[in-house]
Amino acid sequence: MSPPNSLTGPSIELRALDELWFQVAGTVCNLTCHHCFISCSPQNHSFEFLAYDEVDAALQESVRHGVREYYFTGGEPFLNKDLRRMLKRTLEFGPATVLTNGTVFKPEWLSELYDAEQTSPFSLEFRVSIDGPSADINDPVRGEGTFVKAMNGVRLLCDAGFLPIITMTQTWDDSENLRILEDFRTVLRKQGCDRPRLKILPRLKIGAEVNRTEGYQDTERITDDMMQDFDRDQLLCHHSRIVTSKGVYVCPILIESPDARLGDTLDDVLQPFAMQHGACYTCYQYGAICTNTTLRPGESQVSS
Amino acid sequence: MKLALFGGLYSNYLALEAAIQDAHARNVDAIYCLGDLGAFGPHPDRVFPLLHEHNVACVQGNYDDSIGNELNDCQCGYTDPRDNHFAQISYDYTLANTSVANRSWLRTLPKEIRLNVDGLRVLLCHGSPRKTNEFLWESTTSTAFLERLCQKHNADIVVGTHSGIHWERVLSEGRRYINVGVLGRPENDGQTCVWSTILKTGTDADDSATVCAGQTPVSVDFVPINYDYQRLAAEMREESLPEEFVDTVLNGWWTTCLEILPSRERRAGRY
């Protein structure tokens, strides 16, 4: 396949397939968050659940590509009844991370997964989306009662032996970040989570968020000049792809954009991608926001 | 061949002295340091004469690149405000107390060292062969990924440091990834010792060795290095370094820069 037209946005090559994502619950979610960048809801079936065999096939294919770690997202991944089986299988290949809203799992499921992690050389991480340290901040965005439910999920994870990462989509001013982080640490400690891990994420102005606030301006795009001397590892599309029910896409954020569908198998999706979307601009500004750890620009490179 | 390999000195010249003595006692053929000479500890200039005197060849770590080139920070990539606060205290102290000559020398260090050891291609790097500040943790690094690194970088054995906790994995055809741990601070396990590594190949390998690349026996010993940690702690206090750092030296638990730890490694610690 030929590289994309540079007029549509700077082209970024896939350096290596380090992370493989699974859109394991499609766009189906028990919640209908007003800022969801792919507008997930109980009724949104534009992407369907992945089957166990589809995940297993991709895991086996991923070995040849030297994939380092695996991420499971949705929708709400735990709505997929095969998720636990998929995760146990994944832990035979490498580390796994689940992005969950924390409102649907049961203690016995977590106990089962904890046991699976203990017999694996690899870690099982949970990232729970809670958009602020109080119901007053979280519930207007994620729905009435979701703060209490999600915090209960965090407690269940901690009780099971995990140390979840709490991710907050920022709906407040930058100047509030330190206070929000400290407030959330206090709240989590009161819940018995004595080692809080917190990560603030930027809003992505696509999907439902367009209706809640606004979309991207035409000027909010990555330009060729901006890519000069830029550490491309900051961009997820430089080292990741996502398997969905409709094929393999460039990243978890852009699955509703037709140009983001790159092929049917991992072998099909190694070509460069034209970063022409407003959401690409957010990734550029904030770094690989979807991964567990975010490295800042300017780090020393040995080789590509 | 028998090689002593260590990294992450973090200005802990007392542990460096002990590790070099241990290496000589084992009659190693050569000693290599995988970078990050400064940070965390007191009197950063004190590690340099030891390295020169004992012919320790060094790889440049991200800290060395930063100090050598007087960058704004250590390039560890922390995003948590508390981690950045302590990292900056450490960095500012180290930069201010590293001589011009030593900073100049840090700039000359290579990003990697390639060795032919009994016919094996051994690649010494700091973080990973592709990126100096890439963290390779045992729990978040698949075997397939390590196989790719060895293949892409034409190595039978890849040796790194940077993450601060030693581990290794045997790959296909006996190839290996080895993380030598660090000499600069304990491993977040409640012990005060730090760690060095002895790589033994060919006729120097142990009976338990595995054959690497179809030709050469290889065995690896991770060696706990005991040193005068109470003296180090006292000197850190004299230099007004954070009590959080001193606590780690005295008790063996990491108190700062915890955000980068994957859950499994974090759970193994106290904080």
In terms of CA atoms, which chain A residue is nearest residue B139? A122
Distance from CA of B181 to the nearest CA of A (A): 18
B143 at the A interface (CB within 8 A)?
yes
Question: Is residue A208 within 8 Å of A36, Cβ to Cβ?
Answer: yes
pLDDT at A297: 37
Q: Is B26 exposed, middle or buried (0-12, 13-18, 19+ CB in 10 A)?
A: middle
Of A239-248, A289-298, B150-159, B193-202, least confident by mean pLDDT is: A289-298
pLDDT tier, A194 (very low <50, low <70, confident <90, very high otherwise): confident
Type of residue numbered B189: D
Residue pLDDT, tens place only, A64-75: 999 999 999 999
pLDDT at A288: 65
Residue A121: its chain B contacts at CB < 8 A?
138-139
A293 at the B interface (CB within 8 A)?
yes
Nearest-angstrom CA–CA distance, A63 and B90: 40
Residue B175: its chain A contacts at CB < 8 A?
none
Q: Which residues contact A118 (CB under 8 A, 6 or more apart)?
A: none
Q: Is A231 exposed, middle or buried (0-12, 13-18, 19+ CB in 10 A)?
A: middle
User: What secondary structure letter does DSSP report for B204?
Assistant: G
Q: Cβ contact (<8 Å) for A300 and B133?
A: yes
The model carries a pTM of: 0.94
pLDDT at A293: 63
Q: Which of A125, A301, A303 sits opposite B263 (nearest CB)?
A: A125
Residue pLDDT, tens place only, A237-255: 999 999 999 999 999 999 9
Residue pLDDT, tens place only, B110-144: 999 999 999 999 999 999 999 999 999 999 999 99
Q: Cβ contact (<8 Å) for A93 and B77?
A: no
Residue pLDDT, tens place only, B25-73: 999 999 999 999 999 999 999 999 999 999 999 999 999 999 999 998 8
State percent of chain A over pLDDT 90: 81
Best to test chain B binding among A59, A165, A177, A293 (most B CBs inside 10 Å): A293
pLDDT tier, B149 (very low <50, low <70, confident <90, very high otherwise): very high
Whether pLDDT at A5 is above 60? no
Q: Cβ contact (<8 Å) for B145 and A18?
A: yes
- CB contacts < 8 A, A to B, total 112
Question: Is residue B7 within 8 Å of B180, Cβ to Cβ?
Answer: yes
pLDDT tier, A302 (very low <50, low <70, confident <90, very high otherwise): very low
Whether pLDDT at A147 is above 90? yes
pLDDT tier, A296 (very low <50, low <70, confident <90, very high otherwise): very low
B202 at the A interface (CB within 8 A)?
no
